[in-house]
Structure 1
Amino acid sequence: MNIKSKDIARIHTTLRIAFDAVVVNKVRTFLTALGIIFGVAAVISMLAIGNGAKKEVLEQMKLIGVNNIIIKAKKLDFRDSGNGQVEASQDDKDNKSKENLSAGLNLQEAQSIKKIIPTVKYIGVESSNESSIMFSRKRVNGSLSGVNDDFYKVYQLGLDHGKFPVMRNYTNAAQVCVIGHNLKSKLFPKTSAIGKDIKCGKSWYKIIGILTQRGQSSGLSDNVALGNIDMSVFIPLQSYLKRHNDKSKITERMLKDDDYKDPNRNQISTIIVQVFEANQLKSTAEIADRILQRKHSGASDYTITVPELLLKQEQKTRNIFNIVLGAIASISLIVGGIGIMNIMLASVIERTKEIGIRRSLGATAKDVVFQFLVEASIISLFGGLIGVFFGVGLAFIIGKLTEIPTIVSWFSVMVSFFVSAGVGIVFGYMPAKKAAKGDVVVALRYE
């Protein structure tokens, strides 16, 4: 019991001496801790950027849907001649004849893809354009999209209120619609929108459903981005083809045809193919490409994109970038540790006589080693604590001033903090051993 009490008293005395030594030399302590402060701050901010990038990729994958293949029509450039006739631009007339004569994407092709390829689960179809949307005296700009029933399934769209169009709404081109969450808030901030009529372009539609807030896909190419669903109006595809003819999609073949005004020809802007499993994406995209190449006579008037593969590649690139940033930040921690070692070595030389006095009064070599290790640990923990606050603040500032998302996790904070303590112990050990090895008589004579 007496031995244990003496050990506790010895440890307490050593801790008090170490703490007093750190407090007395405030400027030296702060300058020594600077390397740790910057190192911990850099590690936390870099990990926050990495976590934010990972979350952003996952959110984008959720927005674009799982296991989807996006087929988009390439728009040819058309202009109005001034007499009500639509003409192809001179640039398009100079293109290859097979491109000019392509009928573009249509419903029949979408149905063929679903019928021919067994790995297809759903096939969504969309045709859209920007439109002014009115209710009473309120007018907002948004997107008007004609879609089929599978469109809501491939993008996993949910409803806050109301219902989706039923099959007869599609077959009889009913004037009903489902609107986005933000559009409802702008047009009907305090009242229910269900059953109300809104005007899109020149046509009126009755609201039967309000979509759950979705968010907007960002950082994606035009061939992948879904657009702002929250500010969109969705109507049955047949209603769109009947009432909203888009002249920008009319091809030269249609101009030469007597019946080119048929709304079901070349009026599909996007086909979304959803497969059952992720490993079927690449093969399904290749088969769909061959089907469209044959139907379009080899014309390259569409693009096929597999967003999940693109996002996974983007995530892989970001992970490599984050590893590089983390390595650079870790180097600053090592530099901070070297700084602690250098200052502690200088401190050992300066305090040689103090060490000799302690040894002559009964302190053991272990006590001296423990004292200097405690001093190094206090300095590194002090730097780690301040570095945590700086790192969290830096991550917050980066997130606010830039478009880079940042997420600070408790794991990264705790790891950085305890690593800083480890750096103090590792780099403080050599100065501590040097202090303990000195001869007591020589130390007492040191001036």
Structure 2
Amino acid sequence: MFNKIYIEKLKSNFSEAVRVILTNKVRTLLTSLGIIFGVAAVITMLAIGNGAEKEILAQLELVGVNNIVITPISDEKDDNSEEENDGNATEAKRFSKGLDLLDVHSIQKTIPSIKTVSPEIILETYVIKKGRQNPVKLIGVSKTYFKTSNINIEIGKNFSAIQEENALPVCIIGKKIEKKLFTGESAIGKRIKVKDVWLQVVGVIEEKFISDSAQENLGIRDLNQDVYIPLKTFLVRFKDRKNIIDKPLNFGGGGSMIFISGNNQGPKKRIPRGNYHQLDKLVVQVNNSNQLNATADVLSRMLKRRHNDVLDFEISIPIQLLKQQQKTKQIFNIVLSIIAGISLLIGGIGIMNIMLASVLERTKEIGIIRAIGATQEDVILQFLTESVLVSIGGGIIGIILGVLSSYILQITTGIETILSLSSILLSFFVATLIGLIFGIAPAKSAASKSPIEAIRHE
């Protein structure tokens, strides 16, 4: 019986609250603006945060765990690399052999904290299909490359030891290459012609989404458009820069460094060597993440010594770059949260002010309902229902606006946003809670009025 009476009271309060809100539509809308924008900001912020987290996890998967990346620095131009000597001559820059396979063997043999070493050589070339040339990147790698880089071979298999050792003309291709060259059929066992070399396809890697930011910030290629061959196959059948630079001066490109002068007393002029490195990239994977910095330091000192004290390489730790990026995005999310919180707070204050004004306007009405038997609890419940309904209405509009904003943001800016049910429910709960909290003071103010004084109020 008690529950039935209480339900009837709730129905009555709800009907009255709806009547009051519809009577003052414009005021109610203006009151709920803070809630609307606050809830929309919360949903958009969480959608951006979820998208950023997904992107960082995807990038982390691409760069691999516990990896150190070594990239060579080419000698493209002289700039200020020569030091002046006695005002009229320059001291020759030290000679470096460049990043090569000897470095790989030395690293594997010397540093115990290293798990695997994966060298890469990259050549921008073309694949010929039906007389047409399609640009591709030809990548010379070892069989450990795919494991180190978290790349799964979807169909086919990895290079065998025999294929690597004998420089056999085999390849593993990206998914986009397969779709482009072998539409509607499997590429396994078939041959493709890269430049002037025929290669047999032994595997196809699974398709991976590579965002523009990952390509720009982390130097990650679009793996889906690469052709991978064994490292030795690359050096034997395509190009080995180490063999090229060991030859005499070659002005046609790729030649050795060389100093020329008019006479023994005159200043020497240095000719840039171009890209004299045998390898284009070296990925070193350590056993534990806490060994990354120490191993990177050892690698730097070791390679500098092997390169005759020439710093012609760069060492980076992608996971640290990602963590810094993640920290930056977390700060961004915190700022957005504060802005959303301020909007919600302002919205709550607006509800409280309007409800207090409503109490003053309806003082006589309050006195009448108190005189005919309404209790203080009934009055409190009435005004709380109104404030909560205003807040819930603003919350619903805010949710719709937040969802639309997330989609529009993704379409216009390319920033990935991921909406979640939890963020929508959280926003709805917060909006309801604000209406409840900020409606308490006006409700108590209304309930505390004396019925006789309220009726006499003009």
- Give your verdict on TM over 0.5: yes
1:330-409 map, 5 Å: 330-409=341-420
Cα–Cα, structure 1 residues 401 and 289, in superposed 2: closer, same or farther, change >3 Å? Answer: same
Q: 1:244: how far off? A: 2.6
Secondary structure at the aligned position of 2:213 is classed as: coil
Find out whether 1:120 has 2:120 as its counterpart. no
> In 2 relative to 1, CA 218–308 (structure 1 residues): closer, same or farther, beyond 3 Å?
farther
Question: How do 1:14-413 residues align onto structure 2 when only pairs under 5 Å count?
Answer: 14-77=13-76, 89=77, 91=79, 94=82, 101-216=95-210, 218-220=212-214, 224-245=218-239, 255=248, 266-413=277-424
- Going from structure 1 to structure 2, the CA distance change for 1:250 and 1:349 (only over 3 Å counts) comes to farther
Task: State the superposition RMSD in angstroms.
Answer: 2.4
Kept in 2, the 8 Å contact 1:223–1:305? The answer is: no
Whether the 8 Å CA contact 1:162–1:194 is kept in 2: the answer is yes
What is the CA distance between 1:281 and its match in structure 2?
A: 1.1
Contact 2:241-2:277 at 8 Å conserved across structures = no
What does the per-residue CA deviation read over 1:376-418, in whole Å, with 9 as the maximum and x for residues that have no partner? Answer: 0001011111111111110111111113221112121111110
1:93 and 1:317 map into 2 onto residues whose CA distance is 36
1:76-135 per-residue CA deviation (whole Å, 9 max, x = no partner) reads 22xxxxxxxxxxx55488489775621110011011111111111111110002111222
CA displacement, residues 127-175 of structure 1 (integer Å, 9 cap, x when unaligned): 0021112222443222111111211220122122212221111122111
Q: 1:297 deviation in Å?
A: 1.4
Residue 295 of structure 1 and its aligned partner are, at CA, apart by 0.2
Identity in percent: 42
Distance in 1 (CA, whole Å) between partners of 2:143 and 2:393 is 61
Cα distance in structure 2, aligned partners of 1:156 and 1:147:
14
Query: Which amino acid letter does the alignment assign opposite residue 338 of structure 2?
Result: A
- Please tell me the residue identity of whatever aligns with 1:318: K
- CA shift digits 1:266-314 (9 cap, x unpaired): 3111111011111111111111111101101111111101001111121
Question: Secondary structure of 1:193's match?
Answer: coil
Instruction: Tell me the equivalent position of 1:80.
Output: none
Deviation digits for residues 322-352 of structure 1, max 9, x if unmatched? Answer: 1111111110011111111111111111111
The residue type paired with residue 411 of structure 1 is: S
User: CA 1:280–1:218 in structure 2 vs 1: closer, same or farther (change >3 Å)?
Assistant: farther
* Residues 72, 223 of structure 1: 8 Å contact kept: no
Q: CA deviation at 1:435?
A: 1.0
Aligned 8 A contact 1:176 1:236 in 2:
yes
Residues 223 and 316 from structure 1, CA distance in 2 versus in 1: closer, same or farther, beyond 3 angstroms?
Answer: closer
Q: Normalized against structure 1, the TM-score is what?
A: 0.90
Counterpart CA distance in 2 for 1:162 and 1:14 is 70
CA distance in 2, matches of 1:256, 1:223: 37
| Secondary structure class of the residue paired with 1:149 | coil
* C-alpha separation in 1, matches of 2:350 and 2:223: 54
| Cα distance in 1 between the residues matched to 2:146 and 2:93 | 31
Contact 2:114 2:284 in 1 (8 A): yes
Q: Quick check: 2:35–2:347 contact (8 Å CA) kept in 1?
A: yes
Please give the alpha-carbon distance, in whole angstroms, between the structure 1 residues aligned to 2:316 and 2:41: 37
* Aligned equivalent of 2:262: none
State how far apart, in whole Å, the 1-side matches of 2:415 and 2:209 are.
17
Deviation for aligned residue 1:202 = 2.5
Q: Go from structure 1 to structure 2 and tell me whether the alpha carbon gap of 1:425 and 1:118 turns closer, same or farther (over 3 Å shift).
A: same
Match for 1:72: what amino acid?
A: T
Q: Secondary structure at the match of 2:198?
A: strand
Query: What is the match of residue 440 of structure 2?
Result: 429
What is the CA–CA distance in structure 2 between the aligned matches of 1:225 and 1:160, rounded to whole Å? 24
The equivalent of 1:81 in structure 2 is: none
* Offset from partner CA, 1:186-237 (integer Å, 9 cap, x none): 1111122122221222222111111111222542476832211100000111
Partner SS for 1:274? strand
Verify the 8 A CA contact 2:193 2:199 in the aligned structure 1. yes
Query: Whole-Å Cα distance in 2 between the matches of residues 255 and 289 of structure 1?
Result: 30
Contact 1:76–1:248 under 8 Å retained in 2: no
The count of corresponding residues between Structure 1 and Structure 2 is 429
Shift of 1:8: 3.9
Taking the aligned partners of 1:113 and 1:379, their CA distance within structure 2 comes to: 68
Question: Which whole-Å CA distance do the structure 2 matches of 1:426 and 1:235 have between them?
Answer: 66
Amino acid at match of 2:385: V
SS in 2 for 1:343: helix
Distance 1:247 1:356, change over 3 A: same
Offset of residue 177 of structure 1: 0.6
Partner Cα separation in structure 2 for residue 93 and residue 412 of structure 1:
56
Provide, for residues 49-70 of structure 1, a one-character-per-residue CA deviation record: whole Å limited to 9, x for no partner. 1111111111100011111110
- Gap runs ≥5 in structure 2: 84-89, 257-275
Q: Distance in 1 between matches of 2:408 and 2:115?
A: 44
SS at match of 2:32: helix
Cα distance in 2 for residues equivalent to 1:405 and 1:221: 16
Which residue is equivalent to 1:420? Answer: 431
Distance between the aligned counterparts of 1:23 and 1:248, measured in 2?
82
Q: How far off its partner does 1:442 sit?
A: 2.1
Q: Which runs of 5+ in 1 are unaligned?
A: 78-88
For 2:171, the aligned partner's letter is: C
